[in-house]
Amino acid sequence: MNMRRVVGSSVVVAAALALAVPAVAAADKPAMSVKVSGNAMTISGTCPKGGKEAEGWYGKPNGHEPIKTGAMKNNNGNFSITFAGVAPGTYDVVMGCQSASDTAVKRVSVAAKKAVKKTPKGAAKTGGGPFVVWLSR
């Protein structure tokens, strides 16, 4: 009978830990958002526990090193950094805080700029040229 209580208690404790651990881990990540405008990418977010320093970077999915990285500007706890000249492609964007044990990661795509087609107006100007003079004789 005692063995059943021990096993039953262990299962309850394990289930409670399994539910509690992800909640604690999620609370220790930065809250991040990413905005892409043309070939510029802005990372914004906040750090848990009132962190004072944050860094943002982006790189190829499953890549080994970031393409660009930089310290994020702190505006009263709201952090941001903008990367200009981002080539078209898919990237993993990351925000890390010195106050957090984990990083926030989002996958974003930067689209290639669409070519603007310029349509000429009016008829083509070919000029008179010597051929026209020869035909009119």
Domain membership of residue 78 as a residue range: 30-110
Rounded Cα–Cα distance for residues 120 and 109 (Å): 34
Which of the four pLDDT bands, split at 50, 70 and 90, describes residue 112? Answer: confident
In a domain, 81, yes or no: yes
Tell me the whole-structure pTM to 2 decimals: 0.64
- Per-residue pLDDT, averaged over 52-64, amounts to 93
Instruction: Taking residues 72-83, report their average pLDDT.
Output: 96
User: 94 lies in a domain?
Assistant: yes
Q: Residue 35: give its domain's CATH number.
A: 2.60.40.10
Q: Taking the C-alpha atoms of 42, 44, 78 and 82 in order, what is their torsion angle to the nearest 10 degrees?
A: -20
Total domains in the chain come to 1
In a domain, 131, yes or no: no
More confident residue, 57 or 8: 57
Residue 32: per-residue pLDDT: 97
Q: What percent of the chain has pLDDT over 70?
A: 67
pLDDT of residue 15: 37
* Residue 90 is assigned to a structural domain of this protein: yes
pLDDT tier at 27, thresholds 50, 70, 90: low
| Tokens read off for 13 | 């404790």
Per the prediction, the chain carries an average pLDDT of: 78
Separation between Cα atoms, residue 61 and residue 129, nearest integer Å: 60
Residue 15 CA, chain-centre distance (Å), reads 34
CA 111, distance to chain mean position in Å, is: 13
In DSSP terms, 41 is beta-bridged to: 36, 83
Q: What percent of the chain has pLDDT over 90?
A: 51
Q: Is residue 121 part of a domain?
A: no
> CA nearest 72: which of 102, 42, 99?
42
